[in-house]
Amino acid sequence: MHDIRALRDHPDTFVSGWKSRGVEDAQAVVDKALELDRTLRAAQTAGQEALAKRNAASKLIGAAMAKKDMTEAERLKAEVESLKGEIAAQEAVEAGAGKALRDLLAAQKNLAADDVPEGADEAGNVEVTRWGLLSEGGPNRDHADLGEALGLLDFEAAARMSGARFAVLKGGLARLERAIGQFMLDVQTTEHGYLEVNPPYLVRDEAMFGTGQLPKFEEDLFRVDEHLLIPTAEVSLTNLVREQILSEDEMATPMRLTALTPCFRAEAGSAGRDTRGLIRQHQFHKVELVSITRPEDSDAEHERMVRCAEAVLEKLELPYRRMLLCKGDMGFSARKTFDLEVWLPSQGTYREISSCSNCGDFQARRMDARFKRAGEKKTEFVHTLNGSGLAVGRTLVAIMENYQETDGSIRVPDALAPYMPKGMTHVGGPR
């Protein structure tokens, strides 16, 4: 959500900021917002003036009646009734303009940070770093073909019961996926200081609004009666501080939260993309990282979060690169985003496996999540950050492709050995 006072004081900043994020009618949006703001404030002023007049007239009625001046008393009563109607009319204008203004601002993307590069789409993203050596000369079979050949990945059975974009994992492959999730969770909690949380998977509309999935992206969500299935644990974890005022002691160090949950996405806007395999599923698991910070701490926390995600890839010895997303490719709520992309030999390219975003106070305003510094009367909005630490299914894909052997088996990375049955060094091959 955006601060109307900031928009009122710096309209050009919002016009240029939204244009750079792909909002073609940015000037019209700003003009409409300012018009609604003027209407809202005018109605508030007129309503307050009418209320003051009504209160004054009401007091005079008693004085007139005490003097037995019934003509004046009746005139004042008529004035009071008229003013009641004026107050109600202005309240209706205020309510309508207020809702229209909130709806308009709620549909607008966050403004990008100053150091985010210009660009309309992924072509404008900038590679920051690259880690790991790419395997050369080894097998580069696609993970879907590899899993099906081993009899451990079944898309047909999943389609019979659930339709497209679902998969059934069996045996050693199912065990390997479970090991990946537990390994990631252990790294983030024991080494990086994140607090493990087991949150709800079903949330109300207000929670989705708070993190920015609603109202604009409802078609990407799965609804179950009055609830929605989470597309990421970012929703549940970030909303833990909704409608809260945290103390300075609670915010002295960033609040760091993590969860391993299933995620559910309709993928409404991805028709024809990654229709085969595990890259883009309706249901998958992910270890999510969320931080709640003071404004002055969020940039440093963003870098720390990215390093926490990178550490998992490095422990698994998976080649990756870090990308700084341009303004046109960032998510709705983000002010700055780094993507981590892992190497997939079968595609001869890097694919996204983690996205770490600093949202500034954008989500906090939507959730009314604030904190108060010691000795201060006013409150401030917190900053929120989120990132994948990592997507479990895509990590499984990367391991299958980067650790495949010539005999068709998949070698278990050393970091995952403690999470697998004793002596199981390969999936689908020698044990």
Mean pLDDT calculated for residue range 191-218:
97
- Predicted confidence at residue 418, as pLDDT, reads 97
Are the folds of 4-106 and 122-427 the same? no
Kindly tell me if the per-residue pLDDT of 62 is higher than 50: yes
Based on the residue annotation, tell me whether 355 is a catalytic residue of this protein.
yes
- Predicted confidence at residue 271, as pLDDT, reads 67
Q: Choose among 87, 94, 6, 106: nearest CA to 47.
A: 87
Which residues have CB under 8 Å from 85's CB, separation 6+?
none
Token couple for 282: 């309706």
Token couple for 294: 């003071």
Q: Which residue has the higher pLDDT, 297 or 69?
A: 297
Mean pLDDT calculated for residue range 270-297:
91
Residue with tokens 């949202």: 359
Mean pLDDT calculated for residue range 173-188:
98
Mean pLDDT calculated for residue range 193-200:
98
Q: Choose among 134, 137, 130, 138: nearest CA to 411.
A: 138
Kindly tell me if the per-residue pLDDT of 354 is higher than 60: yes
Helix (H) or strand (E) holding 257: strand 255-264
pTM, rounded to two decimals:
0.93
> 122-427: what fold?
BirA Bifunctional Protein; domain 2 (3.30.930)
pLDDT band for position 274 (cuts 50, 70, 90): confident
> 4-106: what fold?
Helix Hairpins (1.10.287)
Kindly tell me if the per-residue pLDDT of 4 is higher than 80: yes
- Predicted confidence at residue 377, as pLDDT, reads 92
Is residue 340 classed exposed, middle or buried when 0-12, 13-18 and 19+ CB atoms within 10 A define those classes? buried
- Predicted confidence at residue 73, as pLDDT, reads 83
Residue 265 annotated as part of some ligand binding site:
yes
- Residue tagged active-site, from 21, 165, 175, 394: 394
Assess contact for 199 and 262: CB atoms under 8 A. Answer: no
Q: Average per-residue pLDDT in the chain?
A: 95
Based on the residue annotation, tell me whether 280 is a catalytic residue of this protein.
yes
Q: Is the dihedral of CA 290, 296, 302, 307 positive or negative?
A: negative
- Residue tagged active-site, from 72, 86, 352, 405: 352
Kindly tell me if the per-residue pLDDT of 291 is higher than 90: yes
Domain extents for the chain?
A: 4-106, 122-427
Is residue 430 classed exposed, middle or buried when 0-12, 13-18 and 19+ CB atoms within 10 A define those classes? exposed
Kindly tell me if the per-residue pLDDT of 168 is higher than 60: yes
Based on the residue annotation, tell me whether 265 is a catalytic residue of this protein.
yes
- Residue tagged active-site, from 298, 346, 355, 357: 355
Q: Is 151 helix (H, G, I), strand (E, B) or coil?
A: coil
Residue with tokens 């909005």: 381
Mean pLDDT calculated for residue range 301-315:
98
In Å, how far are 346, 368, 371 from 378, measured between CA atoms? 56, 14, 9
Q: Which residue has the higher pLDDT, 83 or 62?
A: 83
Strand-pair category, 126-131 with 320-324: antiparallel
Each residue's pLDDT tens digit, 364-411: 999 999 999 999 999 999 999 999 999 999 999 999 999 999 999 999
**Percentage of residues in the chain having pLDDT higher than 70:** 98
Query: CB-hemisphere CA count at 13 Å for 325?
Result: 26
Q: Return d(Cα 367, Cα 364) in angstroms, integer.
A: 5
Residue 354 annotated as part of some ligand binding site:
yes
Kindly tell me if the per-residue pLDDT of 107 is higher than 80: yes
- Predicted confidence at residue 429, as pLDDT, reads 63
